[in-house]
Chain A
Amino acid sequence: MREAVATLVGDGDTVVIEGFTHLICFAAGHEIIRQRRRDLTLCRLTPDLIYDQMIAAGCARKLVFSWAGNPGAGSLHAFRRAVEGTGGAALELEEYSHFGMVGRLCAGAARLPFWPMRNYMGTDLPAANPRIATIECPYTGERLATVPALNPDVTIVHAQRADAQGNTQIWGLLGVQKEAAFAARRVIVVVEELVDERVIRADPNRTLIPGLIVDAVVVEPWGAHPSYAQGYYDRDNPFYVDWEPISRDEAALAAYLNEYVYGVADRAEYVARCGGLERLGADARVCAGVNYGY
């Protein structure tokens, strides 16, 4: 991970670490914080705790997003302090809805300049974000909303497994990882498990990201904690609840970063500092598989 971030994530980059609740790569976020990257444009539908931590650590110049909260538990307070002007460095915002962010990545993946959608009429979102525009459909004359393509310098995706070439298989919630990877100039895949190419070839429909667009494969068990990896470990819901008072207090947040990010060399040390995470291990609900014969 150290090498992947050192070589593929630079100061000033536009960075996407995707994963909708599922497979959020905290391990990569922590490494970016440890390497003290600066002036990043951080993009995610749901910034979640990982971007709250990266904002608090001073990595971000700008946030591009559609829902900035701590799901079911409260707020992202480092984000709020920056936006409400009550602490931390200033943070530029570029705000969409989920559909808008999805459309931006679809356009990016297709290498189109924009994506059309029937959306935003009657809302104040286009006034808040002038990059949300409209276009007249050349076929029907209908006025449609458009969002600009998002082509990140680097996309980081966490996954259950990949082979050494980066052929990456994901199951459970898929979010926008496929689009985010195809939209990016560089792709880092972080996996729970490295598998032989034969495992990938045995079930090709499960491959979401092909190795031919992947620049680095990092093996990092528990790398999504406190997010989760279906079939490997559950979401650490109490962690999200406990984040609320930590995030609310700048000193407590700094102490957290010192202990769990700056204070550990890598993910293995993080897992040890958490006292191990085996309590979150997944139950077995294995599917039967299909016949690929012909």
Chain B
Amino acid sequence: MGIEAAYSPAEMMTAVAARELRDGEVVFVGIGLPNLACNLARATHAPNLVLIYESGAVGAVPERLPVSIGDPSLVTGSLMVCGMADVFQSFLQNGRMEVGFLGGAQIDRFGNINTTVVGEYGRPAVRLPGSGGAAEIAIHAKRTVVISRLSRRAFPERVDFITSPGHVARGGTRRQLGMPGAGPVKVVTDKAILEADDATGELVLAALYPGVEAGEVCAGIGWTLRCRPGLKQVDPPSTAELALLREVLDPHRLYLKG
């Protein structure tokens, strides 16, 4: 035994993200931990999960760990390969994407995400990659799950730039701005799960990982984090989940190293 006790934060985050997916759902998959989480869910409780990658692979069944979002293994054996105009118009804008995964350098109190710049847009201290498909995924996916490690730098009260809108974004709420999707309903971190408060859209502490105190979570958040009454405890990764992650899905520990 002992395997239950010894797991990395990345393994825990992946297992938690996988449990957010329900069998048969259509998922817009990102690279890295989201990709691992989707394939873990497919190998456990959600064998009928439909993985769609923004590169155009629909119903992908990658036989190796894709290191990029356009890996050739996403094509081999998939249900459909379409152009990117179809991905964004006929799938995403059409309302077919049930879950989208997002990450980012900064996530704020209302779930807005910044993947564009740290500092001023015209003269950034750090230039980040930009939106990619994230802005439209945040707007259109029926719900999104955000994955990010806690730190005050990663969770400021306000992001420097809103690349992907959260619950209260530039100019108002999602409803006021006419966004079709529900936005970031959960944020999976390395210590806890945050959820959006139904009334205010503010991210609040919803569940703690084994052995974590609420104070540790608050220390990694740049605003005064409110707690849900009756905080839940999250189960650690099971022996089966860990075995799949380590032996089948990421044997070279490309994404699970930390």
Contacts and interface: CB of A to CB of B under 8 A. Distances in A.
Contacts of B123: 85
Task: Determine the main DSSP class of A at the interface with B.
Answer: loop
A97 B133 contact: yes
B93 interface: yes
A79 B127 contact: yes
Nearest to B114: A124
Contacts of B116: 95, 124-125, 128
A98 B136 contact: yes
Interface in B167-182: 169-172, 174, 177-180
A79 B117 CA distance: 13
Interface stretch (B38-46, B83-91, B191-199, B239-247): B83-91
A70 B135 CA distance: 19
B58 to A, nearest CB: 11
Given A71-B69, A172-B75, A234-B72, A118 B139 contact: yes
A45 B69 CA distance: 13
A66 B132 contact: yes
A179 B135 contact: no
Given A128-B121, A176-B84, A67 B131 contact: yes
Contacts of A277: none
A69 B172 CA distance: 30
A80 B172 CA distance: 32
Contacts, number: 176
A102 B169 contact: no
Interface in B147-202: 161-165, 169-172, 174, 177-180
Nearest to B68: A71
Given A22-B70, A123-B163, A237-B67, A118 B83 contact: no
A68 B161 CA distance: 16
B71 interface: yes
A234 to B, nearest CB: 6
B134 interface: yes
A122 B72 contact: no
B83 A122 contact: no
A10 interface: no
Contact of A84 (B31, B67, B127): B127
A21 B69 contact: yes
A122 B70 contact: no
A172 B76 CA distance: 8
Interface string A185-223: 000000000000000000000000000000000000000
A174 B121 CA distance: 32
B13 to A, nearest CB: 17
A204 to B, nearest CB: 17
A243 interface: no
B130 interface: yes
A95 B130 contact: yes
Contacts of A95: 116, 130-131
A123 to B, nearest CB: 5
B125 A84 contact: yes
A62 interface: no
Nearest to B32: A72
Interface in B98-122: 112, 116, 121
A230 interface: yes
B170 A122 contact: yes
Contact of A125 (B85, B131, B132): B131
A2 B57 CA distance: 34
A235 interface: yes
Interface string A270-294: 0000000000001001000000000
B130 A68 contact: yes
B132 A118 contact: no
A122 B56 contact: no
A176 B89 CA distance: 13
A123 B132 contact: no
A103 B83 CA distance: 12
B71 A21 contact: yes
B26 interface: no
16 contacts: A66-B130, A75-B129, A84-B125, A97-B131, A98-B131, A118-B140, A122-B162, A122-B165, A123-B131, A123-B162, A123-B170, A125-B116, A127-B121, A173-B74, A174-B83, A235-B71
Given A21-B68, A67-B129, A123-B135, 6 more contacts: A69-B129, A72-B68, A99-B135, A102-B89, A122-B171, A124-B170
What are the 7 A-B residue pairs with the smallest beta carbon separation, nearest first?
Answer: A21-B70, A122-B169, A122-B165, A69-B129, A67-B132, A97-B131, A121-B177
Interface of A: 20-22, 45-46, 65-69, 71-72, 75, 79-80, 83-85, 95-99, 102-103, 105-106, 117-125, 127-128, 142-143, 171-179, 228, 230, 234-235, 237, 240, 282, 285
